Amino acid sequence: MRIRYQYKSVKIRINQRFAKQIMTKKIYDILPPRLVSSTKEKPKYSIDSKKPKHKTKRERKNYFPLHGKVGGILVSLGVFVIILAVFLYFKLASVSVVIWPKTEDINFTEEITAEKSLTIVDLENKKIPAQIIEEEKELWQEFEATGSVSKDGKAEGIIKVYNKLSPAKAISLVTNTRFLSDSGKYFRSVKKITIPAAQVKSGKVVPGSIDVKVLAIEAGEGYNIGAATFSVPGLAGTSMYYSIYAELSSKMEGGFKSTVKIVTAEDIEIAEDILTKKLLNETTEIIKNKALSSGLTLFDNALSKKTTEASSSVKAGTEVDEFTYRAKAKVSGLVFKDADLNDFIKNYILSQIASDRTFLESSLTTNYIPITIDLNNRKMTFNLEISGKIYPKINEEELFSKFSGKSSSEIQEIVYTAFFQEVSQIKINMWPFWVKKAPKNQNKIKTSLNFE
């Protein structure tokens, strides 16, 4: 505006000049070259060499000095809010759709057969494959001997028997002749003895003598006596009583009396019973855990248990405080795969319900009770009870893909149509609050079926 204004000022002045010239000079139809040249240069000259005096615009007095800044801030804030709203709409907009389809209960009971000869599920004949699993285990244990017996020993030793009969003559004593020690202990000779006659040597009478082995009459440590003199009680009252005697110069040994433990036949039977029960229980527990970890079903009465080996380390009557018993067992079980039964159940349910229905797997409950188990033929039958819920069959992926760009009412209509109106409740939540239609981005749409 300023430049235009200046140019207009110059043009007016130039015209005024020409007006004066016209008034002072003669007017020509065609201007002479000199005048044309001068007229062309003068405006140029006046513009370049003399700056025109401009009238300054009167500045409007601003009675509100902050009005321009506040307005700019408000405009900027408004633009920011609009941009943010658009960003939030496209970035944060989401929809969740929860659908409660109507369900109905189902209950079935069938008799199922599991056979070792089968390899695949036979739905038509209600049969599934079976198999045999086995486990062997060996076990040993120490047991205490409970029998007891008294054990004793009689003291024995060598005594020297003297004969100083006069007139001198040899004398014989029968087997088991008793000899009484000066401490009151009786001993017997173990065989018949003959005591030589006394002899006179260097004017002195030297008694005849003989060494005799004797055995204490009773057992016990009390007969382990030391040096002693003995009389022969059987000669009491005769002239030989004081002429026949004996002496012990060393010591009697071997006398004792005690009670020792022995293994009885009952001990061995009890050990066998305890160990085999323990062994079979442990082996059974192992095979059950093996079946469970392998996804197999094993009935308690589908087990074969037997002891293959059993032995005691000693015989009955052996004098020991403890003895060892060993045993070995084998347990076999007739089982079937859980996967095969589940496969049968799913296909069986589908064969029993309408084609436009499907079953809710999480609702299925099964119970089976064995009827007959034939371990020899590796075959068993059992009652199978099935219960659960079914609902209208739909293509969930296809259904949920139709929600993009749809309003709540449109989504409801799509759901009711897909489920043949068999819906008890629909819950649609659009966020943030200003969102009125589901986003185009399928990832922003969360959908689920609720059967609770």
pLDDT attached to residue 158: 96
* Whether 179 contacts 211, CB under 8 Å: no
E strands, 232-378, in order: 244-248, 256-262, 296-312, 322-337, 357-359, 365-374
For 73-78, what is the mean pLDDT? 80
Query: Any idea which of 47-56, 164-173, 348-357, 370-379 has the lowest mean pLDDT?
Result: 47-56
Which H or E element spans position 133?
strand 131-144
Which residues make Cβ contacts (< 8 Å) with residue 118, sequence separation at least 6?
127, 128, 129, 130
**Of 366, 408, 412, whose CA–CA distance to 387 is shortest?**
366
Instruction: State residue 211's pLDDT score.
Output: 96
Q: Which CATH class is domain 131-146+262-337?
A: alpha beta
The H or E element containing residue 421 is none
Note the pLDDT tens digit of each residue in 116-147.
999 999 999 999 999 999 999 999 999 999 99
Do 171 and 240 form a contact (C-beta atoms < 8 A)?
yes
Mean pLDDT, rounded, for 163-176: 93
191 has pLDDT over 50: yes
Per residue, what are the HEC states of 29-89? CCCCHHHHHHHHHHHHHHHHHCCCCCCCCCCCCCCCCCHHHHHHHHHHHHHHHHHHHHHHH
pLDDT value for 375: 93
**pLDDT number for residue 186:** 97
| Tokens 């949920």 found at | 400
Average pLDDT (352-365) is 94
Q: Give the right CATH number for 151-258 from 1.10.10, 2.40.30, 1.10.700, 2.60.40.
A: 2.40.30
Token reading at 443? 């990832």
Query: Can you tell me the mean pLDDT for 62-91?
Result: 68
Residue type, 293: S
Q: pTM for the complete prediction?
A: 0.59
What Cα–Cα distance (Å) separates residue 286 from each residue in 273, 289, 333?
20, 5, 11
DSSP symbols for 136-181: EEEEEEEEE--EEEEEEEEEEEEEEEEE--SS---EEE-TT-EEEE
Is pLDDT above 70 for 434? Answer: yes
